[in-house]
Amino acid sequence: MTREMRFEIHEKDAGKPVLEFLAARFTYHCAEAWARLIAEGRVRVNGGVPDGRAALRAGDRLCYEAGEIPEPPVETGFTVLAEDALMAAIDKPGNLPCHPGGRYFNHTLWALLKARGGFPDPIFINRLDRETSGVVLVGKTKEAAQNLSKQFASHSVVKRYTVFVEGLFPERADAAGWLMPDSGSAVRKKRRFVPAAPGSACPAGAAWEWAETAFERTGAQDGMSVVTATPRTGRLHQIRATLLGLGYPVVGDKLYGVDENLFIRFCSDALTDSDLSRLRMGRQALHAGSLTFHHPRFGARTEITAPLPADMAALLGAAPAG
């Protein structure tokens, strides 16, 4: 699949040299390969061929003629739950990245939406991890995307997830505390949840983020609990890290599950049959089941729901709803 991919540079990436940005974000090419692609004219910034050392600015438009790129297989069967001229709600499967990055470019929800038609420049309002299934909101215009993004930023959007955890979870739990880098982990991107009293001050000099999540157990079987998670904040890996910190690792989660060494072996394609048995399922059992928000034009309170996917339903020995 050959496509031209287009990106708008955000503030967090402003100041980075073109070559550095590309090599860090899209690791299927090394820096030398990106330099060659730039020299071939296959990378453009604001319509012109850039110097790889040139610094990017917020608002720059970067285009890349992707060509043929070998990428890991993904699930491509997404479902459009609702759609109008301003926005769409997508039910993303549990093995599909939202946006290009790392080893994924064409095998992403972003690229699939562009190929489907009607989504010339999809803007994700919320993003889910590759292995998390469920509702993703997409803005079709900048104005609609800004409206929806402000609702998320103000915490007025109600997000509910279904998650399976190991052990018998309490009937209810209200978790508040700090998310921080897990310095004791062999995996650099892993985070750790540290419970704290509401309103407590962030430790001086620490790159910690405040996180709050309400949990309710809705079922239990075979040493596993079905939990509804309602995050009040939106932090990276918030639900997964919080549950592990509470002592209830997420079923199927190679990083925040029963053993982080499973993630290390997964990255080198070295998972054993015993590892797969411990995981129970092939991905993390986390599903973004519903979002409730105000429509960006009409203001009507809108709830979008996505049924429990087949792989999670099968773990319960039930057929998926819907």
List per-residue pLDDT tens for the chain, 322 residues long.
Answer: 445 677 789 888 899 999 999 888 877 678 888 998 899 888 999 999 899 999 999 999 998 877 666 788 899 999 999 999 999 999 999 999 998 777 777 789 988 998 887 788 889 999 899 999 999 999 999 899 999 999 999 999 999 999 999 999 999 999 999 999 998 999 989 999 999 987 777 776 667 899 999 999 999 999 999 999 999 999 999 999 999 999 999 999 999 999 999 999 988 889 999 999 999 999 999 999 999 999 999 999 999 999 999 999 999 985 444 4
| Shared-domain flag, residues 279 and 183 | yes
Is residue 72 in a domain? no
| Shared-domain flag, residues 237 and 256 | yes
Record the pTM: 0.81
Is residue 70 in a domain? no
| Shared-domain flag, residues 145 and 293 | yes
Residue 135: per-residue pLDDT? 98
Residue 14 domain boundaries: 4-65
Nearest to 244 by CA among 279, 205, 194: 194
| Shared-domain flag, residues 34 and 116 | no
| Shared-domain flag, residues 208 and 234 | yes
Q: Which CATH number fits the domain that encloses residue 42?
A: 3.10.290.10
* Contacts (Cβ under 8 Å, ≥6 apart) of 154: none
| Shared-domain flag, residues 136 and 118 | yes
Q: Which two tokens stand for residue 177?
A: 């505390």
Note the maximum CA span of the chain.
Answer: 60
Residue 69: per-residue pLDDT? 63
How long is the chain? Answer: 322
| Shared-domain flag, residues 182 and 144 | no
Q: Which CATH number fits the domain that encloses residue 250?
A: 3.30.2350.10
Is residue 194 in a domain? yes
| Shared-domain flag, residues 18 and 91 | no
Residue 322: per-residue pLDDT? 40
| Shared-domain flag, residues 278 and 200 | yes
Computed over its alpha carbons, how large is the radius of gyration of the chain? 20
| Shared-domain flag, residues 170 and 274 | yes
Domain limit, last residue, from 65, 87, 103: 65
Is residue 320 in a domain? no
Nearest to 44 by CA among 24, 19, 62: 62
| Shared-domain flag, residues 126 and 171 | no
Domains of the chain: total: 3
